[in-house]
Amino acid sequence: MDYYKKCNKLFEIYEKEMLEYYNISFLGGAMKRSILLILLSVCILCACNGNKEIYEPLKLSYKEDTYISRGMIAACYDDKIYYFSDGNGQNGIYVMNQDGSDNQLVLECQDIQGLQILNNKIYISEQEEEEYRRKRTFGLYKYDLDEKLREDVIHPLIRKKTANGFPGIGGFFIDESENVFLNVNSYNDKREWVIKLMFYQKNDIQPFGEKAVLIANLEEKNTKKLFSLYQLENNYFASSSGKKDPKDYGQNSLDYKCIMDTYGYNSKSECSWWNGDEFANKWNHVVRIWGIYENKVILTVDHVLFAYDLADSVICDTLVFSKTGKIIYVNLKGDNFYAILEEDTPSVYNKKKDKSHQILYKVTHDFSDYDVVKDYGTDGKMIYIDEEHLLDYDGESICLYNMENGRVGEKTGSYLLEFPLKSLGYQIDVAGEWLFIKHYDYKKKSSKLVKKINFYHDLKNN
């Protein structure tokens, strides 16, 4: 009887939504009884699996420099560190000195998935109060540190341009001219999931594809897929939007003039940006741009590393890794390039435990040679690397190593965590000499900063 009551209640909610969104009503008693039987079966299955743990992949904000002014939950600006926290019971953006002193709340906000500080303004991708199709959505907001004024950056026309409502943004970037680049997530008229990259400046709102200049089409000989390279002022973008047959991706992106799986790079700030792996991992071919080195655009297509010469308009270097993996990060700074190849990359669309396998490689600038720096197996993750240090997670602890000529040297410290990071909605970011770990509780629908660690001082003395 309890299950019947639950089914009847679920049906009333379902019937109300169908009437509200699709103008469909259920008048026949036979239809209602049939649906109730189906819902009854679902309730029984849910009861049997109610204790099953839900896994969410660990998200890391890979950075080429820990002192850049953007990140997932933390960033550096004007010799200070801005970060998301729930200090004193209040969620928001806090600021502190580089040594961790003088913590202050500067902006109250809900959970965030992106942060950038530019021209004394804080930009955040903040969780909206209202959900879209029972999923969290994120908007874009700006806070002027001088005027103490908060504004909604999402122009109303962008919501109107998004089919079937506004389900939020997947990523954003603000360039030096305060031009706004947005990945707007939406469904098209055929109820297929698409990602639209929108560009706009002040009140001039246009799809990115109508504003940017196509400077190259890169075709993979074996698969005959076409990949595109765009430029807009100091911004470069690599995308899979120029493919010959959009049906290969299960999307009709050309009809919507959108750019899917779009990764960008700003040559002036030397900063790369992306829409978020939770969206990119859904498609088979992911194109990512990591930067410009000696007038060559360095980009990846799944497991292949390319160098595109801007002067000669040709692909000058290519390096192919294992076909079963994807290159998820490339660091171009230093005497070598560093690349992470990940196999079995998790997605928020599959509620399975993260069993991804990471391998960190060292690559010469001309792609002529590469070598394994560290194989993390299925337990560990790389967090940050430069020519002097390697910061990673070994499945239990945060570890710091010295780097010596592109090889892992002595471990200089570690910090044992009391919780596993590769499940249950954890996020890691680095800013300055600090590591931040945020956790989102999917049951309570709340976020909190669970760890703030100085990875030179705390790890060495732990």
Q: Greater confidence, 365 or 248?
A: 365
Among 428, 423, 421, 422, which residue's Cα sits nearest to residue 453?
428
Q: Greater confidence, 15 or 411?
A: 411
Among 290, 262, 246, 294, which residue's Cα sits nearest to residue 64?
290
> 58: pLDDT confidence band, cut at 50, 70 and 90?
confident
Q: What is the pTM of this model?
A: 0.80
What six digits make up the tokens of 158? 């962008």
Alpha carbon distance 382, 403 (integer Å): 14
pLDDT computed for residue 225 by the predictor: 52
Give the residue-averaged pLDDT of 229-250.
61
> 24: pLDDT confidence band, cut at 50, 70 and 90?
very low
Residues 314-327, buried b or exposed e (16+ Cβ, 10 A)? ebebebebeeebbb
What count of other Cβ atoms lies within 10 Å of the Cβ of residue 357? 18
* Residue 248 and residue 242 in contact, taking contact as beta carbons nearer than 8 Å: no
pLDDT tens digits, 136-160: 778 889 999 999 999 988 766 666 6
For the cut 80, the answer to whether the pLDDT of residue 193 exceeds it is: no
Alpha carbon distance 295, 312 (integer Å): 10
> 402: pLDDT confidence band, cut at 50, 70 and 90?
very high
Alpha carbon distance 3, 40 (integer Å): 6
What six digits make up the tokens of 377? 């197996």
Give the residue-averaged pLDDT of 115-137.
83
The overall average pLDDT reported for the chain is 76
pLDDT tens digits, 336-382: 999 999 987 554 444 455 578 999 999 999 999 999 999 999 889 99
What count of other Cβ atoms lies within 10 Å of the Cβ of residue 32? 14
* Residue 261 and residue 242 in contact, taking contact as beta carbons nearer than 8 Å: no
Of these ranges, 162-171, 257-266, 309-318, the one predicted with the greatest mean pLDDT is 309-318
What six digits make up the tokens of 341? 């190849």
* 288: CB partners within 8 A, 6+ apart: 238, 261, 263, 274, 280, 299, 300, 327, 330
What six digits make up the tokens of 222? 């074996």
Q: Among the listed ranges 61-65, 305-309, 354-358, 421-425, which one has the minimum average pLDDT value?
A: 421-425
Among 43, 26, 114, 108, which residue's Cα sits nearest to residue 75?
114
